[in-house]
Homo-oligomer: A and B are copies of this chain.
């Protein structure tokens, strides 16, 4: 058993670092997860993450653990006041060898506290170089949007490059619309209009994506959520990536195309920084 001493874990409320090898999370990826940024022992956007976790559970037809239970367990893990990452996984639990769910299957909940990721200073300020992945995302409306455990597409896409200066790979669907990055959502600004891809056929609807859409609305920006053809994205005035841990990274390079960090991007970064100061932890 490999034990990563930098990671603290609870499985169904017990301090342990392993799960049954009959768990359907392992056998089929039959579950959902959330990745939360934690500052000062408080997970940011807790309520939103829990809401998406619930939506994912409903989509898969598995019971969501009670919020108070998850909150108590998260609180027990989050001591030390350091920035860290909280990962919550809910699987359908152990039961049976086949795809059919046995009636007595009990969900498994796993909470993991991970160290804050190192190695990306300057990305938010100076922007990042990205690449276009060869892998195309498959289409599945029943799985689109939720953060389920079937993530081989992202794993394969992330294997396409090793250059550490390339911070993210962009993924297209089979109609050459840009959908997202391997670990982030994508926004484009063109003629003052902010556009992020429609995720009704594939992709993960990130929490930070929703927060940015709301903040853009507060700023009075025109916002559209629709299919975004690659050719149109390449002509954008500004491009940026979002996720719960990175916040907002401007894209400054894709192949030979370069971008300056634009005014809308900076405005939205300022809004996110204010939100952080205001405190949006357990309450939001």
Contacts and interface: CB of A to CB of B under 8 A. Distances in A.
The quantity of this chain's copies bound in the complex is 2
Contacts of A202: 138
Contacts of A3: 20
A101 interface: yes
A26 B23 CA distance: 9
A41 interface: no
B22 A26 contact: no
B155 A99 contact: yes
Given A60-B155, A138-B140, A21 B29 contact: no
A188 interface: no
A151 B30 contact: yes
Contacts of A11: 21
Interface in A10-45: 11, 16-30, 33, 35
Contacts of A93: 2
Contacts of A87: 97
A267 interface: no
B139 A138 contact: yes
A176 to B, nearest CB: 14
Given A1-B20, A112-B21, A29 B100 contact: no
B143 A152 contact: yes
Interface string A57-78: 0001100000000000000000
A100 B160 CA distance: 10
A149 interface: yes
A213 interface: no
Contacts of A28: 29, 149-152, 154-155
A19 B29 contact: no
Contacts of A97: 35, 85, 87, 112, 114, 117
Interface in A71-101: 85, 87, 89, 91-95, 97-101
Contacts of A152: 28-30, 60, 143, 148-150
A99 B20 CA distance: 23
A165 interface: no
23 contacts: A11-B21, A17-B21, A17-B22, A21-B112, A22-B112, A23-B26, A26-B89, A26-B91, A27-B149, A28-B152, A35-B97, A61-B159, A97-B114, A97-B117, A98-B158, A98-B183, A99-B154, A99-B182, A99-B183, A101-B158, A138-B140, A139-B139, A139-B174
